[in-house]
Amino acid sequence: MIDKKIRVLAAKVGLDGHDRGIKVIAQALKDAGMEVIYTGIRQTPEQIVEIAIQEDVDVIGISILSGAHLQLLPRVTELLRKEEADDILVVAGGVIPQEDFAFLKECGIKEVFTSGTLTGDLIKFIKENIIKRE
């Protein structure tokens, strides 16, 4: 079997324009051999899920630094369930206080990465948790 490349959607949800982190991560994942699609800033949960399904990705990495993570991140996972695409691994990062982690994980966000995360750790996490899709 040929090992298919891991496909990742790097996404920015909400209204904040901080894209340094997501772009650095996207580049690092590319350098680690993954295929990465970057959405650009200010995407809605609906747009993100649509692109994810269209592009048939294995992973969605969402960056948010606006503080609206409690409203917007659960919406992404909810829409994925609705589209029966909840086998896609969803991880999030940005300025997110620790006390919100538990709720986000309950909603289906597999892991929350905050400021100071090494890209190496993220790559390892993706490889260990990914469900390869047919």
Partner 1 sequence: MFEKDKLEQLHKRKVAWGKTLEKTLGKNPERKEQFFTDSKILLDTIYTPLDLINFDYEEKLGLPGEYPFTRGVQHNMYRGRLFTMRQYAGYGNAEETNKRFHYLLEQGQTGLSVAFDLPTQLGYDSDHPLSRGEVGKVGVAIDSLQDMEILFEGIPLDKVTTSMTINSPAAIILSMYLALAEKRGIPFAKLSGTIQNDILKEYVARGTYIFPPEPSMRLITDIFSFSGKHLPSWNTISISGYHIREAGSTAVQEIAFTLANGIAYVDAAIKAGLDVDQFAPRLSFFFNAHLNFFEEIAKFRAARRVWARIMKERFGAANPRSMMLRFHTQTAGCTLTAQQPLVNIIRVAFQALSACLGGTQSLHTNSYDEAFSLPSEHAVSIALRTQQVLGYEIGVTDTVDPLGGAYFIEYLTDKIEEEVMNYIIRIDELGGAVKAIEEGFMQQEIHQSAYEYQKEIENGKRVVIGLNKFVTKDEEPIKLAKSSPAVEEYQKEKLKKLRQERNNEKVTAVLNHLYNAAQSSENLVPIFIEAVKAYATVGEICNVLRDVFGEYRQQVLL
Smallest gap from residue 89 Cβ to partner 1 (A): 20
Q: Which is closer to partner 1, CB of 20 or CB of 82?
A: 20
Nearer to partner 1, 22 or 80 (CB): 22
CB of 131 to partner 1, least distance (A): 25
Q: What is the layout of strands, in order, in the sheet containing 111-114?
A: 35-38, 7-12, 59-64, 89-94, 111-114
Nearer to partner 1, 122 or 130 (CB): 122
Q: Considering only CA atoms, which of 113, 68, 67, 69 is closest in space to residue 89?
A: 113
Token pair listed for 61: 């990495």
Beta bridge partners of 36: 8
Q: Which residue has the tokens 């969803």?
A: 90
Where does this chain bind partner 1 (CB under 8 A)? 14-20, 23-24, 26-28, 36, 38-42, 44, 66-68, 70-72, 95, 97-99, 114-116, 118-120
- Residue 106 phi/psi, 5-degree rounding, is -60, -35
State which residue, 18 or 86, has the beta carbon closest to partner 1: 18
Contact by Cβ (8 Å): 90, 77: yes
Give the shortest CB-132-to-partner 1 separation in angstroms: 24
